[in-house]
Amino acid sequence: MMRVDGTVASDDDGGRSGGGTVDYGSAWARVKRRLRAELGEDVFASWFARLELEAVAGGTARLTVPTRFLKSWIESHYLDRVLNTFKAEVEEIARIEVGVRGTGAPARPVAAGVAKPGPASGPLARLHATSAPIPIAAVAPAAEARNADAGGDLSGTPLDARLTFASFVIGRSNALAHAAAERVANHQGEGALYNPLYLHAGVGLGKTHLLHGIGHAAREAGRRVIYLTADRFMYGFVNALKTQSALAYKERLRGIDLLILDDVQFIQGKSIQAEFGHTINALIDAGRQVVVASDRPPTELEALDERVRSRLGGGLVVEITALDEALRVSILSARLSAVRAAHPGFDVSPQVATYVARAITANGRDLEGAVNRLLAHATLTGTAVTMETAESAIRDLVKNREPKRIKIEDIQKLVASRYNVSRSDILSERRTAAVVKPRQIAMYLSKVLTLRSLPEIGRRFGGRDHTTVLHAVRKIEKQIGEDAVLGDEVELLKRMLQD
């Protein structure tokens, strides 16, 4: 982590340090953690997950986001909050600026006064690099291209030329999703298949790869396709409202053959959600294909209207689960083969490859990152990749595995089972001691094991107020401190949920 004076901060530096230097990267990480805790996971994920610190100079912190819509929303609704939170960590911060970063690569935090590095090249370049991503609009029918300027921007988010069905590695965890995606992309008959097709998975498990694969295959078949991220959809709709071209925008959006929408969990705002619901309904009713991806199933999209959630769940819902070892080995082998084609001298023994595949279990992106690191080591040092160097290169990837995502529903089911009550009892208005205690324990575990806010937890417990949840959390905390037996009981429940 670079400081303003160009020195390097150690991992255990703790953020602030002596000698007049400030570790802005660590301070910004703490700011984001505070925002997540104060605003709740849904709000944070929607507006702050992709907010990055670019530079600090003269008391001004420059932050960047990927879209103009996010920039406008944060400036209108959260700028003061971000400033006050940052100022609490670094007193010298007096002003916040929000900019839009380019689409080529995510912004990386850099210190004030330190030049940003140029694009990666050689061994550090992105794997499978090809020509620039191809915007869908560039291959749309001529009539569509002529109308590109009418009714708002509907060019869509560019498709990545590397993310095709041919480059997708299939395993037990994603075979059903891949089969459904191929069937939808190649369907030539009347109507649509599995409408909508809804894919959900955690980070780096391949859902976006499949969406791009669908887009490429359908486009090659001559179908009118638009691929949109949630940010792009929201920006296009808001911009159409501002330019008084909303009607034309909606008509063009509903006039396509295939709509692909990624990261639907980020769609916010009642009017935008309503328009999203109308668009989905109009396309499905007209027999047009809709493909949607999210990080959670439709039933857990709490920010969306219930009718929209119901419509999204009415088609084929497929989860891409965690990568098993066999699939991780296949993905790693494919990555290594691609690198060897460009760097013939690069070699990784089967023992090292097996170790990496077993050690990195979180997602495919971490596997790609591991290959990049091994390649950098071999190329920059001129030495062979050994087990020892591999362990050193991927140490932080192993250490920073994503913890298991625990669902409130799972907590409720486990607690109900342990205390011989039903889940419906926990969600009910019953106030008998046999129900109140497990209900409060379930609320307490929901608070400490998930990132849900108190109001969100209250809604998941039969629509209760957040003050009820707060009372339950405080009461169980107090009882755990006074009753060792209860403390052991709660710890056991935690371990059962985390394993």
Instruction: Give the residue ranges of the annotated binding site for ATP.
Output: 204, 206-208
CA atoms of 256 and 254, how far apart (whole Å)? 6
User: Residue holding tokens 């295939």?
Assistant: 258
Q: Using an 8 Å Cβ cutoff, are 410 and 452 in contact?
A: no
Neighbours of 438 (CB within 10 A): 22
Report which residue type is found at 338.
Answer: A
Q: Using an 8 Å Cβ cutoff, are 192 and 280 in contact?
A: no
Neighbours of 31 (CB within 10 A): 24
Query: Looking at beta carbons, which pairs linking 358-363 to residues 24 or more positions away fall under 8 Å?
Result: 358/325, 358/328, 359/394, 359/397, 359/398, 360/328, 360/394, 360/397, 360/398, 360/401, 361/322, 361/323, 361/328, 361/401, 362/204, 362/397, 362/401, 362/402, 363/202, 363/203, 363/204, 363/205, 363/323, 363/402
List the binding residues.
204, 206-208
Q: Is 117 exposed, middle or buried (0-12, 13-18, 19+ CB in 10 A)?
A: exposed
CA atoms of 353 and 332, how far apart (whole Å)? 7
Tokens standing for residue 483: 């009753």
* Secondary structure class of 197 (helix, strand, coil): strand
Tokens standing for residue 201: 């998975």
For 112, 335, 339, the CA distances from 351, given in Å and listed in that order, are 43, 16, 18
Tokens standing for residue 162: 């590397």
Tokens standing for residue 42: 């849904």
Query: Looking at beta carbons, which pairs linking 330-337 to residues 24 or more positions away fall under 8 Å?
Result: 330/169, 330/171, 331/169, 331/364, 331/367, 332/356, 332/357, 332/367, 332/370, 332/371, 334/167, 334/169, 335/127, 335/367, 335/368, 335/371, 336/371
Tokens standing for residue 425: 């009892």
User: Residue holding tokens 């988010």?
Assistant: 157
